[in-house]
Amino acid sequence: MILNKKGFEVLYEGRISKSLAFSKHEREQLGLRGLLPYSIVGQNIQVKRVIEGLRRKDSNIERYIMLSALQDRNEKLYYRIVSDYIEEIMPIVYTPTVGEACIEFSHIFRRAKGFYITPDDKGEILKILKNWPEKDIRIIVITDGQRILGLGDLGANGMGIPIGKLALYTACAGIQPSQCLPVMLDVGTNNKDIREDILYLGYPKERLEGKDYFELVDEFVMAVQEKYPNALIQFEDFLTPNAYALLNIYKEKVLCFNDDIQGTAAVALAGLYATTRITKIPFSDLRIMFLGAGSAATGIADLLVLALVKEGLTKHEALERLWFIDLNGLVESSRTDLMPHNLPYAHQHKSLNFIESIKAIKPHVLIGATGSFGAFTKEAIEVMSEVNERPVIFALSNPTSRAECTAEQAYNWSHGKAVFASGSPFDLVQLNNKEFHPGQGNNAYVFPGMGLGAIIANASIIPDELFLTAAKTLADMVSDKNIEDGALYPRLNEIRVISLEIAFAVAEKAYELGIARNEKPKNLKQTIKDYMYNPNY
């Protein structure tokens, strides 16, 4: 590709540009003499310049904008920086900053990225999909923007989510950037303030719903099967009823998964496996309570049922370990307001509020998936500490502004007894001359490796067994030092190694289950390593 371009075409093509790193010979061959300063600057120095520039910025949203521009003009340098400084950069390119970026998406728009589908495109999705220049797409992340993180309906502004997720696919698991496609299913928004914003870039109507909505999604999914038959479709940030409906329609038909339901579940399950090394309570004995009964919470519970059954429990016994609280109190069998995905967890019990439920059921684990900051009150943490020697507190909602409690609150209110994990990052906490390192249950621990393993094996579907495999692999990578620090997950700076191990385990499982469409290579792990994108030049 680079040999077909000359001069400014090379410099302005982000996928091939090396900026000041072009050698004298390359400058001669590519018509760059006179177009660049004299100095030849290697990538290591370029990284240093960018990092210094990022750290001079006053806010993370400005850093997000700066990194987005870098991705456009020098793709390899962008991914080198994200990979090398993952712990510093991930909160900028993804949660929590991506939430702010989505809110402001139409206001900070610089350059089009990704693919947009609106109701006006019905009947012509395959036709317009051919406008996308890449012919070999392997990973697609699609959202309709209706439930962005814990922020609600952001319409087309939600495009920041697929863009961010795919950046992590490349940085964390080495998926080739050219094989990634972010998609916005822009079917309108019911957020009147956004819809009437003069700068809003999306379809300026109320949301398409019902039959027309599902027909549009189906047309897209079928168009992908024809245009990109080896692509994995990741559904992201759909409203709970639609998220479950779409997953149930397609999970046994095409290569797809829902990260909010299944990816979150695998990460949470891995964290729960790790807690047993601290609490000494066997996994099969855990009683677990969820605050929030949406797609994330029930997705975790569904995978927990499978994991508990694998431990030797009956399905009925597994379900009895899991309890839910929503806005109307304990999810119990006499209620008539429950959604279908809640019904298996509606136990025979009298109606109780949140605090009453903790006192009565005495859960070992409290998992928050509410999108409501402060939902874990001081009283709730104190009661959990009364009924447990080491209460397990998972405040999983994103972004940070929507976490059920902060790490500092969990440790302080429990007097240092809590085993804590969150969905967004929190700094270490010092209490009673001890340091606590809160673990971040970031979906990036699982979905990049899941995607990598699935495309290497060319899996036909992604059954729940693959997520169970990913969770066990991740849990096994939590070191004794992590446990000593109170962290339930490995350091994020190990993410490429983690993704490789998960991809290897997932691909092996796919071959074992007979759902792999590629012939198994003699050295599967080396095949995965050889595929992974290298951002160095």
Catalytic residue among 165, 251, 472, 509: 165
- HEC string of 369-412 equals CCCCCCCCCHHHHHHHHHHCCCCEEEECCCCHHHCCCCHHHHHH
Q: Which of 248, 290, 251 is nearest to 268 (CA)?
A: 290
Measured distance CA(469)–CA(465) in Å, rounded: 6
Give the list of residues 6+ apart from residue 172 with CB closer than 8 angstroms, or none.
83, 86, 444, 448, 449, 495, 496, 499
Torsion 439-443-447-450 (CA) sign: positive
Give the list of residues 6+ apart from residue 420 with CB closer than 8 angstroms, or none.
393, 394, 395, 407, 410, 411, 436, 438, 439, 486
69 sits in which H/E element = helix 60-73
Q: Which of 236, 161, 232 is nearest to 452 (CA)?
A: 232
In DSSP terms, 459 is beta-bridged to 516
**Contact call for residues 273 and 328 (beta carbons, < 8 A):** no
Catalytic residue among 64, 78, 94, 345: 94
- HEC string of 257-310 equals EEHHHHHHHHHHHHHHHHHHHHHCCCHHHCCEEEECCCHHHHHHHHHHHHHHHH
Question: Which DSSP symbol is given to 137?
Answer: -
Measured distance CA(338)–CA(227) in Å, rounded: 39
| Joined tokens for residue 182 | 């972010």
Q: What is the dihedral of CA 431, 435, 438, 439, to 10 degrees?
A: -160
Q: Which of 373, 377, 413, 414 is nearest to 397 (CA)?
A: 373
Angstrom distances, CA of residue 374 to CA of 64, 352, 377: 27, 20, 6
Measured distance CA(315)–CA(105) in Å, rounded: 44
Known catalytic residue: 6?
A: no
Q: Which of 297, 296, 293, 269 is nearest to 283 (CA)?
A: 269
Known catalytic residue: 94?
A: yes
Please give the positions annotated as active site.
94, 165
